[in-house]
A and B are shown apart, each in its own frame.
Chain A
Amino acid sequence: QQPVQSPQAVILREGEDAVINCSSSKALYSVHWYRQKHGEAPVFLMILLKGGEQKGHEKISASFNEKKQQSSLYLTASQLSYSGTYFCGPGTSYGKLTFGQGTILTVHP
């Protein structure tokens, strides 16, 4: 079952902040975030694990609330390069990824 992301799309000016939310109806033990630029492959951003451990992108922060089965990705002082579609998903099992439908982020100059 796919996680639900919100908002579905967001438009920013350079330097503005954004938050992308991800929630699941099933128990979440970890959360993955990926970004996909138009016409390209998804690229790993970070993994959030139970207990607060994070692995991944140094310039992007995220939170993971295990009890609420929610995660949020915080994009601060956005840059043009942040544009793309952001996907979240529960932790992998045998390497399999399950993604939400994505949040389209557009950053304008």
Chain B
Amino acid sequence: NAGVTQTPKFQVLKTGQSMTLQCAQDMNHEYMSWYRQDPGMGLRLIHYSVGAGITDQGEVPNGYNVSRSTTEDFPLRLLSAAPSQTSVYFCASSYRPENTEAFFGQGTRLTVV
């Protein structure tokens, strides 16, 4: 069982470039979400999804776009990368109902220069 798989693990972008961070889970989880982690700031929610075709914004959505066409995949798109988006990005998934364990991918370390 692969769990939650994120690709790539590391990425360097130039300011203004766009890219997609991939996230896939094989546990048939309804809920998926994206977080960014910056030093001293814990995890902040970017976007989340409660099922295929349904997404919503989290705490820090600006500059990011998501879609969820299948239960398994939840890609995060950076539209025009900025140095402020340098961070570690985590994807997580969990079952419905509420208050079940969330499983995290191994993270993508993104640097925007």
* Chain B binds chain A: yes
Interface residues of A (CB under 8 A from B): 2, 30, 32, 34, 40-44, 47, 49, 55-56, 87, 91-102
State in angstroms the CA–CA spacing of A91 and B30 once bound together: 17
Query: By the criterion CB–CB under 8 Å, are A95 and B30 in contact?
Result: yes
Given contacts A87-B42, A94-B98, A97-B92, 7 further A-B contacts (CB under 8 A): A47-B101, A49-B99, A92-B98, A95-B33, A95-B48, A96-B45, A102-B42
Cα distance, A101 to B44, chains bound together (Å):
10
Q: Is the CB of A101 within 8 A of B104?
A: no
Residue of B nearest to A2 (CB): B42
Contact (A93, B98) CB under 8 Å given A40-B106, A42-B90: yes
Contact of B96 with A by CB under 8 A:
yes
- Is the CB of B107 closer than 8 A to any CB of chain A? yes
Q: Is B31 a contact partner of A94 (Cβ separation < 8 A)?
A: yes
Docked complex: B32-66 residues within 8 A CB-CB of A = 32-33, 35, 40-43, 45, 48, 50, 56, 58
Q: Is B94 an interface residue (CB 8 A)?
A: yes
User: In the complex the two chains form, is B101's CB within 8 Å of A44's CB?
Assistant: yes
- Contact indicator per residue, chain B 79-101, by CB within 8 Å of chain A (1) or not (0): 00000000000101110101111
Given contacts A87-B42, A95-B31, contact A41 B90 (CB under 8 A): yes
Q: Judge whether B102 is part of the interface by a CB distance below 8 angstroms.
A: yes
- Is the CB–CB distance between B104 and A91 below 8 Å? no
The reply to whether A101 and B101 contact each other, CB–CB distance below 8 Å, is: no
Give the distance to chain B from A11, nearest Cβ to Cβ, in Å: 18
Instruction: Kindly name the residue among B103, B104, B105, B107 whose own CB sees the greatest number of chain A CB atoms within 10 A.
Output: B104
Q: Which of A2, A41, A100 contacts B105 (CB 8 A)?
A: A41
Given contacts A94-B48, A95-B48, A98-B45, contact A41 B104 (CB under 8 A): yes
Is the CB–CB distance between A97 and B33 below 8 Å? yes
State the CA gap A98–B44 with chains docked (Å): 7
> In the assembled complex, which residues on chain A have CB atoms less than 8 Å from the CB atom of B50?
94-95
- With both chains docked as a complex, state the minimum distance between the C-beta of A33 and any C-beta of chain B, in angstroms: 11
